Chain A
């Protein structure tokens, strides 16, 4: 069972290539996890991006490759490994949110 906490959207992959996209959100950061069709079932995997939201809507975000979590698109071949990463990312996003609050705010 995939982690349901902070899961704000489950949708058909908007690229139109089939498959499902899950969007997790914690404060201003989150994860996009997509699995797409593969010719062999055992090749199906998750492609995961760390994302940064632009506003309060769930589909307005950009891919973020500048965190310590990931500097590229990540691949997970099992739900278990994806869940472990999601849990780790939640902790990181909590800390990141606190750190960002300490930065000087733009006027």
Chain B
């Protein structure tokens, strides 16, 4: 009795109160080559929140299924995803029971070969970490939007990106959006890179919650009548499951899923391949995003290296220093995994002072930068300023740290 009005087996658009001639929004869109979408299509400037930017990105991403569980500050974006489902831009969408269920279910969807999206924030991410850490080894090109917030006690809902440090060694591709524009562009680029046959890995686009998700900023978007091509589930590092012929094997190599019998050789070679795939993704991000980093004022003696919202504050500090006739460089890191080792080195190799401001207690970006510059540069790397738990980082704070740094390192 499928497709009959009122059927509990399969609800139709008419059951949802739509007219009989209703056409899903996604079916009215034209699929275009990703390079055309990123670099050729005209763009219109909107002034929208980060959550709305995520919505516009999802509208153009040809998403087959979205599954999420609400948590502040992610809820707003996935509410927007609900509107897209209603309009027919996302084919399937449901709210799971909680995050372990969400991230397990989205893994199953991705293994079945469809483009799968989820989203979360801080504590939700931590709750689902067991499932998340299984994604890369399962070679599931899931796209996850992560609106960062405090995870540690005393708990708060304010921005703090310490949770990103827990994903650094999982084999997931990681991008860190500076602003609303990035939160539109990065998910599209992440989808395209993650689904390449020599990558086939999940990707997380993180953004500092509230500062970006719940505030408006300028975003240049491509026309909504264009979307990315669909995912080709068979063009993948591991074959998709054939869900139409159960029972489906969740992996071509059965022992991979048999923890009692797995050999350490198999595990280690499998993991080596995952991390090699992370590195291979760099060429795609360079293609879609132009580069893994943005460098302002190359050749400066003083450099700020940052990711996420810290870039915006650093960018203004650099501008104000410029007004005073002082040249300060800035490296904006777009991709945390793959980490742009050579790009950072090239940018700061002659710098005397390197400042790394962050919105977390751990200083994980400082550690990452130190690990790639150790023994290669003579510049002094300073860890700070660091704010967390929702603290703000005014531009003046960065300027004061720069001034002190200049006194310490002549």
Which chain A residues have a beta carbon within 8 Å of chain B's beta carbons?
A: 1-2, 10-12, 14-20, 35-39, 41, 44, 57-60, 79
Contacts and interface: CB of A to CB of B under 8 A. Distances in A.
A16 B45 CA distance: 24
B320 interface: yes
A1 to B, nearest CB: 7
B121 to A, nearest CB: 14
B394 A15 contact: yes
A20 B215 contact: yes
User: What is the predominant secondary structure among interface residues of chain A facing chain B?
Assistant: loop
Contacts of B316: 11-12, 14
Residue from the set A20, A57, A79 with the largest chain B CB neighbour count within 10 Å? A20
B392 A41 contact: no
B392 A44 contact: no
B15 interface: no
A38 B73 CA distance: 11
A71 B161 CA distance: 40
Given A14-B316, A18-B210, A35 B323 contact: no
22 contacts: A11-B312, A11-B316, A12-B179, A12-B309, A12-B313, A14-B313, A16-B393, A16-B395, A18-B159, A18-B208, A18-B214, A19-B211, A20-B216, A35-B215, A35-B216, A36-B215, A37-B215, A38-B215, A41-B51, A44-B214, A58-B323, A59-B323
Interface in B205-251: 208, 210-218
B76 interface: yes
Contacts of A79: 47
Contacts of B159: 18
Contact of A1 (B45, B215, B392, B394): B45
A10 B47 CA distance: 12
B65 interface: no
Q: Which of B45, B179, B208, B214 has the most CB of A within 10 A?
A: B214
B111 interface: no
A17 B397 CA distance: 13
Given A18-B215, A19-B215, A19-B217, 9 more contacts: A16-B393, A16-B394, A17-B211, A18-B212, A18-B309, A19-B211, A37-B211, A37-B213, A37-B215
Contacts of A60: 323
Contacts of B396: 14
Contacts of B216: 19-20, 35, 44
Given A11-B319, A59-B320, A20 B218 contact: yes
Contacts of B397: 16
A58 B319 CA distance: 10
Interface of B: 45, 47, 49, 51-52, 76, 159, 179, 208, 210-218, 309, 312-313, 315-316, 319-320, 323, 387, 392-397
Contact of A12 (B45, B49, B312, B320): B312
A58 to B, nearest CB: 8
Contacts of A10: 218
Contacts of A58: 323
Nearest to A60: B323
B358 to A, nearest CB: 13
A14 B318 CA distance: 12
Contact of B47 (A2, A16, A37): A2
B217 to A, nearest CB: 5
B79 to A, nearest CB: 10
A39 B73 CA distance: 8
A77 to B, nearest CB: 12
B24 to A, nearest CB: 25
Nearest to B387: A16
Contacts of B45: 1
Contact of A20 (B210, B217, B313): B217
Nearest to B391: A16
A38 B392 contact: no
B320 A44 contact: no
B196 to A, nearest CB: 33
Contacts of A38: 214-215
Contacts of B313: 12, 14, 16
Contacts of B315: 11-12
Contacts of B323: 57-60
A41 B76 contact: yes
Nearest to B397: A16
B390 to A, nearest CB: 10
